[in-house]
Amino acid sequence: MPIDPQIALGAALPSREFSWTPTDVQLYHLGLGAGARCTDPVELRYLDDSEPQVLPTFATVAPTLGETAAPRVSFPGVEIDLAKVVHGHQEVVVHKPIPPSGKAVSVGRISEVWDKGSNAVIVQEHTVTGADGEPLWTARSSIFAKGEGGFGGERGPSTKAELPDRAPDAELTTATLPQQALLYRLCGDRNPLHSDPEFAKAAGFPAPILHGLCTYGVVCKSLTDVLLDGDATRVAGFRAKFTGVLYPGETLRTKVWREADTLVAVVTAVDRDDAPVLGDVTLRIA
């Protein structure tokens, strides 16, 4: 059985010690397209050699920086073919601004396992603590496993965030690069779905798709740059649901609403008649 909920639910995931440097932060930001405005002092804050500001979404790659092997979906009670898996949602909550260099320990667990009938959803939660013992961030994510349901577990919630019933307060367009996935994968995600045309076709896509977490970071950066004066320390948390795919080189459209200390948004692909890309997007302002 690829999923055994009796073993998986609540299972501890291996802890991980890791570290990062300003160069790692620079590479991550470049993978999101930072530097396009190469003489803009605000933009160059992401790429400073010694003290770059750090987008909170860096948390999604910090523990796996430098890895060169394709990821495996192999956890206690879970063994799934990588080609059957897509990212469901991602959330990062930062407890204080992420420093430009540091050492940390990540401890994780499988917090939820849902049986959606023919498919399955597995939710992980990781807490990260710095070398000083203080919490840095909490990351929650889910994977959607096609064809792996039917194991008799609970179906789980089916919720969708409602957008405000008014015109958006802002609309952003953000171009991506044709080579963006090839650059972003250097941050540690070597899934061939994003680089190998034949693997992508076998998984049902006409071409390699951009990493969902790259799109996630690109949107967080766009919201930060346009609506938070380019100040990454004002982002307390960022969450999004992956509702579709983006192909490298396409342009994102982000419609944004301000709600108290929160920005809510929906993201589509301009090049494909505004096909869904990200939904339930929430940026919490510090």
d(CA 163, CA 286): 21
d(CA 263, CA 223): 8
Q: Check 115, 194, 211, 280 and give the catalytic one.
A: 194
Name the burial class of residue 230, with classes exposed (0-12), middle (13-18) and buried (19+) by CB atoms within 10 angstroms of its CB.
middle
In sign, the C-alpha dihedral spanning 13, 23, 190, 67 is negative
Show the tokens assigned to 10. 């609540």
Q: Check 24, 29, 126, 189 and give the catalytic one.
A: 189
For 94, half-sphere exposure in the C-beta direction (CA atoms, 13 angstrom radius) is 22
Closest by CA to 120, choosing from 97, 146, 93, is: 146
Q: Does 81 participate in catalysis according to the annotation?
A: no
Q: Does 95 participate in catalysis according to the annotation?
A: no
Show the tokens assigned to 73. 């979906």
Residues designated as active site: 189, 194
